[in-house]
A and B are shown apart, each in its own frame.
Chain A
Amino acid sequence: MKGTIKDLLKVSGVHGYALIQDKSIQIKLPSKHKFSGSKESIKMLYDNLVPVEKRPGNVVEIFLEDMVLTIFVNGTIMLVVISSTRVNLALLRMTGKLVIANMVKERR
């Protein structure tokens, strides 16, 4: 597997993602999606999660009524994957860990 965001989007049930690196935010979601205009909320999540040095682990899952936010943090990169509640969460976490590890590797 290449370990790119495309691999994440292939996981059944994934709606899209938001990627935050330093000051840039990139959101890829269907235009009518609940989170497509949530730049500010995602930035707030970033500001709350990224500076926490002693956070145990680097995957955070937020379960909403009709969707799940799976957040991968590594250094100053944060990847939020938005998916349905029926997604295979373990597969999503596995793929997400690979994707974010690759992103960090490419930045070095």
Chain B
Amino acid sequence: MIPFKSLLTFSNLVPLLAIIIVLGGIKRSGRQPLWAEAYRRLGRNRAAIFSLAVIGIYCCIAVLDSITWKSNTLAQPESVITHLFHAMHVKSERTYSAPFAKMTTGEPHPHPLKGWHVLGTDGSGNDVLLQTLRGCRTSIIIGGFTSLLITPVAVLLGMLAGYFGHRVDDIIQYLYTTLGSVPGILLNIAFLLVLGPGLVNLCFALGITSWVDLCRLVRGETLKHRDREYVRAARALGVRDLRILVNHILPNILPVVIITVTLNFSSLVLSETILSYLGIGVPAGTGSWGNMIDAARLELARDPIIWWNLTAASTALFILVLALNVFSDALRDAVDPRLRSS
């Protein structure tokens, strides 16, 4: 039986809260004609709906992996997925084993396996399917949390710089030009060394480098809108600057911001693997496709080639990133047909 009380922890409620916010935002925005039209166009695009479904599945897995509780069979509070695998008697083995194999590989005297592994097991005997599924949560958090971190900052600074100009513009431009002049990967490494390893710190380190482009874009867009007639009319009517920014300019630049953030999502997911390869990614113990692919460097050189670890992780990553790319392209076409890529 699931003890109900241990379900109500902070880490379990956060993912649910995030979903409620996103769904609420979509529902509310659907009342506005621009977005309603965009959703209608998006709905007619079969590839977009399909990739949205794929992203949805990844998100579901990520949420299932975020809900944890303690039980008497497992020492630590474990997620739904781990409980599920535990219930299906997928046990840890001694070392590598191929998909569907009955014996371990890579040992002088192969041992019989305790269980049945669809995607085989990795070096420390963990089920590769379980590891792959656990990587979803890391990727979604890295893409989602980083986007949530940078978007408000970049939009705020970009709008201030574009709207007020002069001194404010100089300071903000100076800030992001300086950050942009240092090679991005170095900043990531340096910030991770300062903050220490960890999933949330990784998001912060990625955020430091990725807000610059968005901020530059928002500044340019605000600059464009600042002298449009509707803004001038509002100013002539005595509307205050803050109100003009929030009520008039923000809704007009929001489509561009949302498109850029979704386009950026996939590159954030991809950069996790590279940082893992450099040894500064997610700490061991958190499921991560980057760490799995990193391990494959040595595994491909072994005599019976260990290919399943690399294949599982990179396929999972590929499908997610592909779906994100297809969806964000479709979203861009739907929201702003002038920006159409084809």
Q: Do A and B bind each other?
A: no
* Residue positions of A touching B, CB distance < 8 A: none
